[in-house]
Amino acid sequence: MDNSNLLLVTANVGTLFEDPLILMQQWIHEFMLTVKQLHPQFIALHLQEVGGKTYEQSSHHVKEFVKSLCEAYEMQEFSIVRVYLDENFTSQEQFTALGNLYFGHNTIPNSRLWNFKNCSWETTQGKNFHFGNIENVPTKDKSKFPLDFFPECKWSRKGFMRTRWDINGTTLDFVNMHLFHDASNLTALIEFPSVYSQRRRKALIHTLQRFDMDKDNEIVPYFLFGDFNFRSDSAGVTKALTINLTEHRLATTNVNNLKKQYRDENGKNILTIGKKEFHHIDHQNKFRGEWLKQYDRDLEICKGILFEYDITFSPSYPYEEKPELPTRYLTTRCPSWCDRVLMSAQMNEITTNRNTSYNLIGDNICMGDHKPVYLNIQIRSNQGM
């Protein structure tokens, strides 16, 4: 076998569990359509916010979600399954709500999984499921970011989880990551990089340095895909949108309700920005154009370190969560490419550019507030470690 066909998917599934009876089945259906279309031999599915905001109330839905994925008709020829779900919601210091799911097809002759504790390879026959407290599972490397990285030093579910695979003689890491969001549009508006962007960059660089300094588990080519919460440069976007407009501040006794409105010469309101409001008069069309990409700048600090295929799809966040409004953006944030599939420079040595695709899943179907993003790519066999 010369190449192995990989399907890498990242999905923030938090809102699925707020309306599981409808959204969960739609999500799984669209995911399976992608599997059926692309015929992958290995699937790496990285989930963030598994279980939603109230994990203890959604745990049974999480189990059903995983069961439905694994038992789907399209997955019957995937004889190798590894599932890692961080469900230890009682531990503020450890809980990330990350889920890493891997599926190997019958056509893959050889695969192994790395044990990070004893630094050795393990066989991958069969199906193993790791739920609950997975801190002591040795075939994954998981960490929450240090407390001082978090806004106001308050814990939230942000961190990473990685696994290492040998697929047909080629070694690579799959890293799931969830970075910090923008708490306030008004704060993000002040400058670039915003305080939120700086936190994301700090956590990202911290993680990459950790991999570089891990002497027991030497660096290998890696795919890094998750919800990075990368946001458009708010200051730059707002400046571009408000040329020839006049700014008006809406005074309020509650600082959290402060709003800025930008009006034209006739007094018509064109853009409104509040703490959790970002509303343009042409909101559903304005942010789908090429012009917005120049303000996608959070990754600039990793230029030459992390690489990504060209983005040709619409921003993956934030979408309406109503099934009847699958393509509409919420007017809470400036639409952004939060969900990404990145790779290390070494990946160029073991991947091919043949039949590669990078896109959204469920473009015209409600998938929650985030659209899943996938990369379909081929890796060469027998490239070693």
Q: Confirm whether 78 is domain-assigned.
A: yes
Mean pLDDT of 324-332: 97
The rounded distance, in Å, linking the Cα atoms of 111 and 14 is 31
Q: Confirm whether 342 is domain-assigned.
A: yes
* Number of domains making up the chain: 1
Q: What's the CATH code of the domain at 87?
A: 3.60.10.10
Distances (CA, A) of 284 to 154, 188, 237: 34, 21, 16
The rounded distance, in Å, linking the Cα atoms of 343 and 130 is 26
Tens-digit pLDDT profile for residues 12-37: 999 998 888 889 999 999 999 999 99
Q: Largest Cα–Cα distance in the chain? A: 70
Return the closest-CA partner of residue 47 out of 104, 103, 100, 102. Answer: 100
Q: In the structure encoding, which two tokens stand for residue 214, read together? A: 């891990």
Tens-digit pLDDT profile for residues 202-257: 999 999 999 999 989 999 999 999 999 999 999 999 999 999 999 999 877 676 77
Q: Confirm whether 105 is domain-assigned.
A: yes
Q: Confirm whether 371 is domain-assigned.
A: yes
User: Hunting for tokens 């309700």 — which residue is that?
Assistant: 257
Tens-digit pLDDT profile for residues 126-178: 999 999 999 999 999 999 988 777 666 566 789 999 999 999 999 999 999 99
Q: Which domain holds residue 349?
A: 3-231+297-327+334-380
Mean pLDDT of 373-385: 91
The rounded distance, in Å, linking the Cα atoms of 333 and 176 is 24
Q: Confirm whether 239 is domain-assigned.
A: no
- In the chain, count of helices (H) and strands (E)? 7, 19
Residue 123 has pLDDT above 90, yes or no: yes
pLDDT (0 to 100) of residue 153: 59
Q: Confirm whether 249 is domain-assigned.
A: no
Q: Confirm whether 370 is domain-assigned.
A: yes
Q: Confirm whether 23 is domain-assigned.
A: yes
Residues 6+ positions from 269 with CB-CB distance below 8 Å: 261, 262, 263, 281
Q: In the structure encoding, which two tokens stand for residue 15, read together? A: 């809102």
